[in-house]
Chains A and B, each alone.
Chain A
Amino acid sequence: MLNFLFTRLLSALIVMFGVMCMVFFLIHLVPGDPVDMMLGESARLADREAMRVALGLDQPLLVQLQQYFVNLTQFDLGTSLHSRRPISEMLLERLPATLELAIAALVVAVAIAFPLGVIAAIRKDTLWDRGAMSFSLIGMSIPNFWMGPVLILVFSLWLGWFPVSGRDGIGSLVLPAITLGTALAAVLSRMVRSTLLEVLNEDYIRTARAKGLSESSVVLKHGLRNALLPVITLLGLQLGVLLGGAVITETVFSWPGIGKLTIEAILKRDYPVVQACVLLISLAYVFVNVMTDLVYAWVDPRIRTGGKA
């Protein structure tokens, strides 16, 4: 187990290092001179030089990279070009909103996906199965920047049940969470269905049935529990999609999270803030994946001993 833990953490560290380097080089992708892009062509020379020094762009590239890493170890992400505030402070301010939305979307996804997947699996090849899988296919095909406005139209403007946008109480969380959670629910329900179908073919399920256990106990206790592991892994992997989707969903609903901050920063050409947001979201994603792996290995001894997966 220690060995497994060590190799997994090491490779995660390498990936995190790579992510940091890539985010650092993002700003150097700006066509031409980033300072020109930020200030416009008509800016005075003195202003440009001041901006260049402020961004550290007057230093050699390797010195910049080194300084960037030194700053990162001190949680110093630089200052916003626009508001002149420390970026770490801005991120901390926005983080709770994004976490709240992500967790709510996860709850929505699980609440839809499990019943749907289980019904589709135990009623395989019936109308139930086809209905559930069609629903899932449609869910995968609706982009959240369209679903959001349509939900607002129906439930906020026509019915007036929920606020149109913003973050004000539990009511305002409902529509964004449904928007963000639906795509995940769609992918997840397919996964629940296929793993449960596989598990239901196992010998121990036949044994459980032969013992005379009730069908619900066979499916839920013996089947679903064993189908849970691959589903948890998928959930970890899909969290990246969720975090990425949060950027768009937060914009649609004016939800004051990291995602909306990212878009605001892009539109204002506030590159240090863009870098910091991308870094935070990606590192969070890597972290979740490592945790998923470790939990998986802890729950299922076959993984860490290198046996049959």
Chain B
Amino acid sequence: MIRLGIPGLILSLWFLMAVTGPFLPLHPERIDLVNILTGPGLNEALGYDDLGRPVLDRLLLGASTSFFVAFWVVTISVVIGTFVGTFSAYIGGYVDQVVVRIIDIFLAFPGILLAIALSGIMGPGIENVVVALSIVGWVGFARLARAQTLSLKHREHVVAAVSLGTVQRKIIVRHLFPLISAPLIIEATFGIASVVIAEAGLSFLGLGVQPPDASWGSMIRDGARYMLVAPHMVLAPGIALMLVVLSVNLLGDRLRDWMDVKGRSVVKK
């Protein structure tokens, strides 16, 4: 069995914060003017920000932002990418050639740049972040699913199914998906890491969530202005972000070893 260890614990915490956050008695928008920029202390574990709001409460709210964006973007990307990639490779011919060209064109844009341009043009907001990151994200899964399908399409069990007259959809769902799922799951795991960074990056640039909602990225941006007097404002969300991404990457590595998928290079988007 795969060893979860500390990274597993951190990700469970992230998940718990995201799911229970809305029900906890948090006050991420409560302003305490006396305590503006006060550092961590007994009353408030992570101190206060530039408006006198408690950093810990905002950090928990930011956890749910990053979790839900990652969840939706990776889900949408995996579904669309797998669908497009598998069918394209299975059908072949002109359809496949067109799909390959489209994939090539999408890959010609540095991922984060396209996401920045898309969210900049569509306007800020969390839904637009999900759309922008999904538009960028599906391509990787499509390429992987296509390559995997190509290598499996002429295997004996598929040929046998074809000659038995099995319908195309059933061949893809029953005979191809189970075999291509392992590398896709691993890619999806690393995908979570890059989406978390990308969401925070967009929010850092002011293109993600809008105030008063919190994102670790926008917290870092706000904190950067007060770094000398209140370093906790930058350090807290940054460390949270790093721990989550590091844990996802570590678990991804372990998952890859466990599922024994041949070492592909991890490409950060």
A interface residues, Cβ below 8 angstroms from B: 11, 14-16, 18-19, 22, 26-27, 29-31, 37, 137-138, 140-143, 145-146, 149-150, 152-153, 157, 183, 187, 190-191, 194, 234, 237-238, 240-241, 243-245, 247-248, 251-252, 262-263, 266-267, 271, 274, 278, 281-282, 285-286, 289
Known: A15-B108, A18-B105. 5 other contacts (CB 8 A): A26-B121, A143-B242, A145-B221, A146-B241, A243-B110
Residues of B within 8 A of A140 (CB): 245, 249, 266, 268
Whether A18 contacts B267 by the Cβ 8 Å rule is no
Cα separation A274 to B120 with both chains bound (whole Å): 9
Residues of B within 8 A of A245 (CB): 112
Whether B246 contacts A141 by the Cβ 8 Å rule is yes
Whether A282 contacts B110 by the Cβ 8 Å rule is yes
Of all A-B residue pairs in the complex, the 10 with the closest CB atoms, nearest first, are A244-B110, A266-B120, A18-B105, A146-B238, A240-B110, A244-B112, A141-B246, A141-B245, A244-B113, A145-B204
A to B CB contacts below 8 Å, 27 in the list: A14-B104, A15-B108, A16-B108, A29-B121, A31-B122, A140-B266, A141-B193, A141-B249, A143-B197, A143-B200, A143-B201, A143-B242, A145-B204, A149-B220, A157-B227, A187-B268, A191-B265, A241-B110, A241-B111, A244-B112, A245-B112, A248-B112, A248-B204, A252-B224, A267-B120, A274-B121, A282-B108
Cα separation A197 to B237 with both chains bound (whole Å): 38
B137 at the interface (CB under 8 A from A): no
Cα separation A106 to B127 with both chains bound (whole Å): 35
Whether A18 contacts B101 by the Cβ 8 Å rule is yes
Residues of B within 8 A of A150 (CB): 234-235, 238
Closest to A286 in B: B108
Closest to A186 in B: B268
Quote the shortest CB–CB distance from A76 to chain B (angstroms).
21
Cα separation A265 to B250 with both chains bound (whole Å): 37
Whether B250 contacts A137 by the Cβ 8 Å rule is yes
Cα separation A263 to B205 with both chains bound (whole Å): 8
Closest to A148 in B: B224
Whether B227 contacts A149 by the Cβ 8 Å rule is yes
User: Interface readout for B200-237 with A: 1 if CB under 8 Å, 0 if not?
Assistant: 11001111000000000100110110011001001101
Cα separation A248 to B269 with both chains bound (whole Å): 13
Q: Decide: A278 near B267, CB < 8 A? Known: A29-B118, A142-B242, A153-B227.
A: no
Whether A187 contacts B267 by the Cβ 8 Å rule is yes
Question: Contact partner of A241 among B220, B249, B268, CB < 8 A?
Answer: B268
B92 at the interface (CB under 8 A from A): no
Q: Decide: A146 near B263, CB < 8 A? Known: A29-B118, A157-B228, A285-B108.
A: no
Cα separation A206 to B85 with both chains bound (whole Å): 42
Question: Contact partner of B245 among A30, A143, A241, CB < 8 A?
Answer: A143
Quote the shortest CB–CB distance from B12 to chain A (angstroms).
18
Question: Contact partner of A282 among B113, B121, B200, B205, CB < 8 A?
Answer: B113
Whether B121 contacts A15 by the Cβ 8 Å rule is no
Question: Contact partner of B234 among A153, A248, A281, CB < 8 A?
Answer: A153
Q: Decide: A138 near B268, CB < 8 A? Known: A15-B105, A143-B200, A149-B227.
A: no
Whether B113 contacts A137 by the Cβ 8 Å rule is no
Task: Tell me which of A30, A140, A234, A263 has the highest count of chain B C-beta atoms within 10 A of its own C-beta.
Answer: A140
B114 at the interface (CB under 8 A from A): yes
* Total residue contacts A-B, CB cutoff 8 A: 153
Residues of chain B in range 249-265 having any CB-CB distance to chain A below 8 Å: 249-250, 253, 263, 265
Residues of A within 8 A of B263 (CB): 194
Whether A11 contacts B104 by the Cβ 8 Å rule is yes
Residues of B within 8 A of A31 (CB): 122-123
Cα separation A30 to B120 with both chains bound (whole Å): 9
Cα separation A145 to B116 with both chains bound (whole Å): 14
Quote the shortest CB–CB distance from A36 to chain B (angstroms).
12
Quote the shortest CB–CB distance from A268 to chain B (angstroms).
10
B117 at the interface (CB under 8 A from A): yes
Whether A271 contacts B121 by the Cβ 8 Å rule is yes
Whether A145 contacts B201 by the Cβ 8 Å rule is yes
Cα separation A161 to B130 with both chains bound (whole Å): 40
Question: Contact partner of A267 among B206, B217, B224, CB < 8 A?
Answer: B206
Quote the shortest CB–CB distance from B248 to chain A (angstroms).
8
Whether B105 contacts A146 by the Cβ 8 Å rule is no
Residues of B within 8 A of A267 (CB): 120, 206
Residues of A within 8 A of B102 (CB): 18
Whether A281 contacts B104 by the Cβ 8 Å rule is no
Residues of B within 8 A of A30 (CB): 121-122
Q: Decide: A278 near B109, CB < 8 A? Known: A140-B268, A150-B234, A241-B268.
A: yes
Residues of A within 8 A of B101 (CB): 14-15, 18
